Structure 1
């Protein structure tokens, strides 16, 4: 399957990312940029976005980019630094670039931004299986 098409297929099969309202802005082999808007039901008891929201956006970008190389790829370790609090209505963009595919592991840092402002920094390790994405 064409690597550019894989993230669109993944999104169509992903009820959680769809519930979040994630949209694919740009996608090519080794790179995917996704975005979403924070809704009221995503807020915590302090009126800020739950930390899992920016984490999930970055994780989706990470997974989509990792799979553009044509092999099933799964995250095996991830972490995030929350830099700025987020509120309802914030529009977030996360971009993942995974260029090196020389071995089974891929390492990536994803910046989550609100406009030009860095709001979270996500780090991930992906494992590439031998299974190919098919049409």
Structure 2
């Protein structure tokens, strides 16, 4: 089951579009990396904050989704991401590390750090609603 969910994550269209590279993961930690591209830059030659937010969210999902029981899914309900320094094209690979804070029956909470060249560029907290399969809700 877990491998099936991991495979689903890796083949999702958004991952191919952005070029996410899922790294190691276990029940408490996960890593996803991304090589910045010119298309990811905003007007001041910095990686757009939305790209960093997407990378952080994706890493949190890479951590939690494979741990859910069959039929359960999740959806974002809130996140806060602090941008601490600019990420640039020249800075190289962006690496996001997620740490599970809590995986409950209805809520998952994940802490995510995004770094470039060993420097922290963003830090966030992501909250997800864990959705039961329709039969379990009846």
TM-score above 0.5:
yes
Instruction: Please state if 1:126 is matched with 2:128.
Output: yes
The alpha-carbon deviation at position 5 of structure 1 amounts to: 4.5
Q: Deviations over 1:43-96 (max 9, x none)?
A: 111111111111111010011212121231211101211111111142111111
Q: Deviations over 1:79-117 (max 9, x none)?
A: 211111111142111111226333311212100011321
Task: State the structure with more CA Rg.
Answer: 2
Residue aligning to 2:52: 54
Aligned-partner Cα distance in 2 for 1:44–1:65: 28
Residue aligning to 1:98: 100
Aligned-partner Cα distance in 2 for 1:69–1:131: 15
Residue aligning to 2:82: 81
Aligned-partner Cα distance in 2 for 1:30–1:12: 22
* Greater percentage in helix: 2
- For the Cα contact (< 8 Å) 1:66–1:126, is it kept in 2? no
Aligned-partner Cα distance in 2 for 1:7–1:80: 25
- For the Cα contact (< 8 Å) 1:44–1:50, is it kept in 2? yes
| TM-score (norm. length: structure 1) | 0.85
Partner SS state of residue 45, structure 1:
coil
Aligned length in residues: 130
Q: Which runs of 4+ in 1 moved over 4 A?
A: none
Aligned-partner Cα distance in 2 for 1:130–1:111: 28
In structure 2, relative to structure 1, the CA distance for the partners of 1:8 and 1:97 (3 Å cut) is: farther
| TM-score (norm. length: structure 2) | 0.84
Query: Alignment RMSD, CA only?
Result: 1.9
Residue aligning to 1:109: 111
